């Protein structure tokens, strides 16, 4: 699946004529060792109620050959003349990869988007299969019935594949439901039952069977070479590129043991269940707080107690603060006024009318109606902010490199951004050292450069926006050494170099 040729196998599913390609591939899926010409395929399609012209079928087959889904079987050489061979139509057959892709696509197209039942019974079957394999192998490694051993090994890995696939589909469905913020009451009830009942059953089965499976795998792994040696051969030549069934290599068993390790598969299932339950609580709080008719009895009793303990003046202020019973006045709150001449002293008679929400205008309340609006996806804004931050960091790094490359800044030509960084560093240096009697420097560890100043001639720095002149100081920029800024006088006072 990594190379481009393997990805071409899926192109017929999304092509503009996907229905034609799918119908052609369906003609091969019902037959074994099928070699069909375009005329044969046309006849089969006509019998299924999907008529296509023979030339169209020929073109579709050639395109499928180009993508690797079909292969040509050559023309029939039994003709008596060269003309018969030229007129003979090529016959087509499916490739191994093409047949696999079409089978999986057919299963996917017939599946539904609902929750898939987790194959919990597979865990018990895995544990039983390991016990049977252990009995067959024994301590000596002599297996009386290799075919029975092969059947148990194949069943073991088939059950594990069925369980992991069903778990992945189930949690994918849960992830889609958890991401929704518009769950209705019925959907919320269904989702709650799904989590609190079914998910608890799944995690309980995993907690019950996973330790047993892990223990039996640990007992069997020292004799794994005996198990692999006892499995019957395929009976096919090695040159045929045989794909062995699962469980015929040590890597398959290592992956199985790794999944049932306590810190691997079972832990991931428990963490996913805990995350799903926490998201359920978030939905519960949201629906409870937004449900019409929600009781505020406790809040009103607390407010009544405050009124009972307040004086007349305090009660008036509390009433005004609680119910918004302020005198009518224009506070200039809300959206900006389109007319800049409208201010707090403008009368309502002269100002433009304010847009009132429909809920407040018609029903006198602000309670929302309908479903909760979807939260906008912040990913584009986050990506844009990250890109701007990366560009700014890159530009600042280039400006620092420009300063460090210049070294002695007297007569240097730098960009405006480099000049701004120089001014920031110079301001930090002069704020730290009011008088510069000797060599001083300041480090900017975030940007990674150091500015050194010492008494001397004027420093003139040129930039596109103008010249910067620093009187009586010689400035030099270099890469930061990662040490604390200090002066010669500091060294003399502390006695430290």
Using alpha carbons, select from 179, 177, 173 the residue that is nearest to residue 374. 179
Using alpha carbons, select from 446, 449, 444 the residue that is nearest to residue 432. 444
Structure pTM?
A: 0.46
Using alpha carbons, select from 90, 95, 88 the residue that is nearest to residue 74. 90
Task: Note down pLDDT in tens along the chain; length 497 residues.
Answer: 455 567 888 888 888 888 888 888 888 877 777 788 888 888 888 888 888 888 888 888 888 898 888 888 765 555 455 544 444 567 888 888 888 888 888 888 777 666 667 777 888 888 888 888 888 887 766 777 888 888 888 888 888 888 888 888 777 777 777 676 666 667 777 777 767 666 677 777 888 888 888 888 888 888 888 888 878 776 665 545 567 778 888 888 888 888 888 677 778 877 877 777 777 777 666 666 544 545 566 788 889 999 999 999 999 888 888 887 766 655 545 556 667 677 767 787 877 777 777 777 777 666 766 677 677 778 888 888 889 889 999 998 998 988 898 888 888 888 988 888 889 888 888 888 878 888 888 888 888 889 898 888 888 999 998 888 988 888 899 887 543 333 343 433 333 43
Non-local (6+) Cβ contacts of 119 within 8 A are: 159, 162, 163, 166
Tokens 């039994």 sit on residue? 78
DSSP for 39-58, written as a single string: HHHHHHHHHTT----HHHHH
Residue 125: other Cβ atoms inside 10 A: 18
Instruction: Go through 28-40 and write b for each residue having 16 or more CB atoms within 10 A of its CB, e for each that does not.
Output: beeeeebbbbbeb
Kindly state the tokens that stand for 486. 């200090």
Phi-psi region of 190 (alpha: psi -120 to 50; beta: other; left: phi over 0): alpha
Phi-psi region of 291 (alpha: psi -120 to 50; beta: other; left: phi over 0): beta
Instruction: Go through 149-176 and write b for each residue having 16 or more CB atoms within 10 A of its CB, e for each that does not.
Output: bbebbbbbbbbbebbeebbebbbeebee
């Amino acid at each position: 699946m990594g190379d481009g040729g393997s990805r071409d196998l899926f192109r017929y599913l999304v092509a503009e004529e996907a229905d034609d390609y799918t119908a052609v591939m369906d003609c091969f899926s019902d037959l074994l060792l099928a070699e069909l010409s375009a005329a044969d395929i046309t006849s089969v399609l006509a019998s299924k109620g999907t008529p296509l012209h023979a030339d169209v079928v020929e073109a579709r087959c050639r395109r499928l050959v180009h993508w690797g889904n079909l292969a040509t079987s050559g023309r029939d050489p039994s003709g008596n003349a060269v003309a018969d061979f030229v007129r003979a139509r090529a016959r087509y057959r499916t490739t191994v990869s093409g047949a696999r892709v079409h089978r999986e696509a057919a299963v996917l197209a017939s599946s539904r988007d609902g929750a898939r039942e987790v194959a919990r019974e597979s865990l018990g079957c895995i544990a039983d299969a390991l016990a049977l394999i252990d009995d067959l192998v024994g301590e000596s490694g002599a297996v009386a019935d290799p075919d029975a051993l092969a059947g148990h090994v194949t069943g073991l890995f088939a059950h594990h594949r069925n369980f992991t696939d069903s778990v992945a589909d189930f949690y994918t469905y849960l992830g889609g439901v958890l991401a929704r913020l518009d769950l209705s009451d019925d959907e919320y009830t269904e989702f709650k039952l799904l989590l609190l009942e079914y998910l608890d059953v799944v995690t309980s089965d995993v907690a019950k069977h996973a330790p047993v499976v892990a223990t039996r795998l640990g007992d069997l792994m020292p004799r794994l070479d005996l198990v692999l040696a006892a499995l019957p051969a395929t009976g096919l030549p090695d040159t045929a590129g045989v794909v062995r069934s699962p469980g015929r290599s040590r890597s398959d068993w290592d992956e199985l043991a790794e999944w049932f390790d306590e810190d691997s598969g079972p832990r991931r299932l428990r963490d996913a269940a805990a995350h799903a339950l926490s998201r359920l609580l978030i939905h519960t709080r949201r629906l409870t707080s937004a449900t019409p008719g929600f009781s505020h009895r406790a809040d009103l009793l607390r407010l009544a107690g405050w009124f009972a303990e307040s004086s007349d003046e305090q009660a008036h202020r509390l009433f005004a603060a609680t119910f918004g019973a302020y005198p009518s006045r224009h506070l200039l709150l809300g959206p900006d006024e389109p007319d800049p001449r409208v201010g707090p002293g403008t009368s309502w008679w002269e100002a433009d009318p304010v847009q009132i929400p429909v809920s407040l205008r018609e029903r006198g309340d602000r309670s929302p109606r309908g479903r909760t609006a979807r939260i906008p996806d912040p990913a584009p804004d986050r990506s844009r902010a990250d890109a701007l931050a990366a560009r700014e960091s890159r530009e600042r790094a280039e400006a620092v490199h420009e300063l460090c490359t210049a070294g002695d800044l007297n007569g240097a030509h730098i960009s405006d951004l480099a000049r701004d960084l120089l001014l920031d560093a110079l301001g930090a240096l002069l704020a730290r050292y009011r008088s510069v009697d000797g060599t001083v420097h300041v480090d900017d560890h975030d940007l990674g450069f150091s500015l050194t100043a010492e008494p001397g001639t004027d420093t003139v720095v040129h930039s596109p926006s103008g010249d910067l002149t620093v009187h009586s100081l010689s400035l030099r920029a270099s890469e930061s050494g990662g040490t604390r800024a200090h002066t010669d006088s500091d060294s003399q006072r502390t006695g430290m170099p």
